[in-house]
Amino acid sequence: MWQFNELMHPMAEEFRISLGEGNTPLVKSKAIGPAMGLKNLYFKLENLNPSGSYKDRFAAAFIAHMKSRGQHLCIATSSGNTGAALSAYCAAAGMHCVLIIVDGAPVPKIRQMQLYGAHTIMVEGFGKNTEVTNAVFGQLDVLTQSLGIPLPVSAFVYCPEGMQGVQTIMYELMQAMDVDHVFSPAGGGGLTLALARGANIFAEKNEVQKKPSVHCVQPEGNDTIASSLRNGSQHAADIPGATTKISGLQVPNILDGNEVIMECRALGGNGYTVTDKIVFELQKKLAQQEGIFSEPAGAVALAGLAAAVDLNEVNPEDNIVCLITGSGFKDMLSVETHFGLPTIATISANEMKAAIEKIQS
């Protein structure tokens, strides 16, 4: 990631921290793309970052800036991936980490944070109810300001320094190929905005004329940005509470939404809303047809592309990238709940041959 230091807020080498984040694989679709009639569909495998999601880019940049200022305590909020990333990079930097957790965040993600050494506190209604969420952020704003430390939320409105790291996803994409479309999942919109801003920065620094269209995809149960982008509105929409079951995208507040609309629209991007049902179906297809084990949020971009194909809004020849934002290991409860996988039966060695023959028949 630090190969793009000059395109970020430049950081002296002595303060840079890395666990090997970035430079993630860009893999061409073997089955799903051709089935959609697309010749050049690619998956950006952000699930292969050190803690299992693209948030490692955010954490690496953010913790480097904290180190440069001599700060040793990180207090943050998380629905899972941000907390896992921050706790990992705090551990590597020898810093303390306290995480306020979204109500209902997957237990495996919380255990990952705890194993890295973070202290975790779950607040009832946080991330589900707008009033509670605003109250939590208000209290944390006051607390972190009193301690003289930043509040690392993976959104530009709170933490532009950390989001500089997320922009490197687009730098890698544009360095690797001529991209026509990038589909991004969105909760509060930080990732999508990072991609749009990254496209503009890379194009300017490298004198590139063509920029990819960046599309915002949201679950119907957290439609704060996508419909506004599609319908021509200038403003994202606050909603009473997120009803989607897609962990990590349950963000009823606007956060970076207004900027997402403005900058994606300028790049020719559009908004797509998708059902939880289609997201889970595509999560399974990614695993069984592409060999990619994604968490549900990581299948949201692909669901948006499926909608774009149905609307004839992409061309079969276009170079299209869907972000796979996090590992399926992050949310094994989702796997257990939604896919009706067979129970694990124990048989004798003598029964094994017959069992294999039954599968083959």
The rounded distance, in Å, linking the Cα atoms of 247 and 346 is 33
In this predicted model, what pLDDT tens digit does every residue of 233-290 receive, in sequence order? 999 998 888 899 998 898 888 899 999 999 999 999 999 999 999 999 999 999 999 9
Q: What is the mean pLDDT of residues 21-35?
A: 98
In this predicted model, what pLDDT tens digit does every residue of 120-166 receive, in sequence order? 999 999 877 878 988 998 999 999 999 999 999 889 998 999 999 99
What single string gives the DSSP state of each residue in 79-140?
SSHHHHHHHHHHHHHT-EEEEEEPTT--HHHHHHHHHHT-EEEE-TTTTT-HHHHHHHHHHH
* Domain 55-161 listed as CATH 3.50.50.60: no
pTM: 0.93
The rounded distance, in Å, linking the Cα atoms of 354 and 131 is 59
In this predicted model, what pLDDT tens digit does every residue of 157-183 receive, in sequence order? 989 999 999 999 999 999 999 999 999
Residues of the chain with CATH 3.40.50.1100: 2-51+163-338, 55-161
Confidence of residue 11 (pLDDT cuts 50, 70, 90): very high
Task: State residue 194's pLDDT score.
Answer: 98
In this predicted model, what pLDDT tens digit does every residue of 174-228 receive, in sequence order? 999 999 999 999 999 999 999 999 999 999 999 999 999 999 999 999 999 999 9
Kindly tell me if the per-residue pLDDT of 108 is higher than 90.
no
CATH of 2-51+163-338, one of 3.90.480.10, 3.40.50.1100, 3.30.1330.20, 1.10.10.60: 3.40.50.1100
Task: State residue 16's pLDDT score.
Answer: 96
Which residues, 6 or more positions from 96, have their beta carbon under 8 angstroms from its beta carbon?
72, 73, 74, 90, 119
Share of the chain above pLDDT 90, in %: 82
Which parts of 130-216 fold into alpha helices (H)? 130-147, 160-166, 168-176, 190-205
Confidence of residue 27 (pLDDT cuts 50, 70, 90): very high
